[in-house]
Structure 1
Amino acid sequence: MVAEFAADRLSAAHPKLTERLDAGIIRVGGARVLSTITAMPSSLRNQFKRAIIVAPTRSAILATLAEPWLPEHVVILADADTLAFAARDADRLAREIDVPALAVRLRAFAARATARVSEIGRHAVQLDSEMPTDDIEFPPGSVVDLSGGSRGERRLVEISMNNGQRIIARASTGIVLRNDSAATTSFIERPASQIRKGEEVCVIGPGFVERARTLVNVRATAAAEIREYHLQVASRFSAIAGDSVNERLRVVVSLMREPRVSIETARYWVDLNDELDKPLHDVVPHAPHDRETFMRFTGALGIGPKLAESFWLWAVVAQRSHRLRSGNIFHDAFRGILTDPHAALASNRNRSDDIRALRAMAEEHVATVAETRSLEVT
């Protein structure tokens, strides 16, 4: 039924499709369609050059890759999480099986899927109909500062545009690029250190934010993320073996393997009773101020690196100062919508028009990179 519905809707936009469907040149259907084509004589099946697999499960992806025959081009349309886990499964399976041709196919998929996930990111995009308050502002002027301040990572990247705008960011900060290789307008994400001259960057600066910020209540989202971080720290710290707070602190500091961190310093990071009782808008993050120490601290508590990285962006870097905080939060929120629109639409079905309008507006804020250079923070 879904295949018939898709064929009916697509035929209205593409008049030649009905003729090709009737002739069997194009086939729309479920997983059995590919198996049916595979079972054809080679003279017939080799006429099919491309298969497009829409919204498959992880097991369906592996089952497709395990088919004895596949067309020259296989396109898998899936969300970032499905691609990431399927790539992991494919890589593991390639190491276990003793079928060289299939192992090569699985590794090729794993490499391409992993690369694609790194381009679009894995964003949990939450929209809110409430308009941000007037004191949420992006730093004004032609410089978009995403560095989060000078503490922590000392090497920054300056990206200069041909229109005079500049982006200052950490080497690992995700920057939004227009993907010219796609048939339709799309955006991908790449670390600032990998941006090159001549590429087209979507500058999420003052002009962009002023037009787009009514779509996302990022301040509320960030505050909720800080509260979740504090809850995670409190829960995990209380589960550490020890008869007293000092004993548990000694365990945490020992696991961090960072001589500069004292028990008294770590005590501030776990002293969260007051913060847990505060209204969200008054919460202050109790956390290390440089990324390496933060990751060591969260690692000692058993918080995984992916979750820790999210907490670092929302609960620490994005909160350093009011203006800088707002700029980083807006950048991360809009970056997620632009590079992973399907996740945004899936979580916010009633805001689809706003999301599409935002992506269309982003085209007006694309600029070509004129120069990049490294900056050393002193």
Structure 2
Amino acid sequence: MKHKVLIMRCEEYDADRIAGIIKEGMEELHIKPSGRILLKPNVVIAHPEIFPHAFTRKEFLDGAIKATKEKAEKVEEISVGERSGITIPTRYNFKNAGYPKIIKKHKIKTYYFDEDRHVPVKIKGKETLRDTLFIPEPIVKTDFLINLPKFKGHPWCRLTLSLKNFIGIQDDRHRLVDHNLFLEHKIADLQEVIQPKFIAIDAITAGQKMMLTPTPFHMGAIVMGTNSCAVDTVGCHMVNVDPNDLIHLRFSAQRGFGPMDIEEIDVGGDFPLEEVSEKNKNFEFCMEHIDDYFGKDSNLSCTVGKFPEKHSTDYCWGGCPGALQEAMHIFRGFYPNVEKDMQKVRYVVGMVKEPLELEEGEKVIFAGNCTSWEGK
């Protein structure tokens, strides 16, 4: 039997309209939440002015909670849980996202995973990086997980949809383990812990290029399903991406978590996939190496060497190079002229053998434990 994925039209952030669409989706997909229900949005970072398109909008969360309450049976608890991007308190981002008022209105519980106990969970499989992952206790105790990702481009993984949203269930000390060249493998490993029983993606205003500082793209859609691989495959086709190029999707599908062939998926809803993909043909991505990313007018330059892992010797997508890229985008949000105003800095990553050829007064940052260089 094919997994079903729905693409529904939704032009604006109206909580009641969103609730109606999600409720309709639950009914068509025969979803009846029960037991301990946890809704997991994407709130990697949030700010109404500087980071307005990085997170699942409060109206979307509001609608999802309303629909869940109307369809749920034998409820023990309904909660919202998340861990924001590293070093940033989740409470702070929830406040910036406008979540507390919504959660209070619905009289449900909040779990800030950076404040919760993490417990070891054993995972099996010859492809897994490790045999144990540390997961917040509320996730382990959840009976019914509802995944509420934001539809965004991603500078390391190309897209962040349902599968990638699971990175936000771990706190910093566990999240950073394998958050480097092995990031795509790590995402697949997290699927071994728990699977969402319902997925609703906020694709009303999608985010292009970056994960923290995306530029807006009005997509006007809500994507729903019950299988992350199927939903992410449809998401790829919505923005004209070959699902094989979404590496964590390929890894997850190879482990048997779901399909990545569109012919094996029943795509429904009132927004035809062909129409969506045509509308989104100009959706922009940013998969650029940092040594080519910063222009001649910037006081920041980068030297990238080789990396030790056999499967990716030329670049480390999930580690230090991308961290700099996102950090500079954040600085630009607060200080638009930061790259012209800052002193000359050279950022060095990887095993570098050639001379750095520094300018007078240029400072050097060697980042990462695999970085090496010899010279003066």
Please give the TM-score of this superposition, normalised by the length of structure 1.
Answer: 0.25
Structure (1/2) with the larger helix percentage: 1
Of structures 1 and 2, the larger Rg is shown by 1
Please give the TM-score of this superposition, normalised by the length of structure 2.
Answer: 0.25
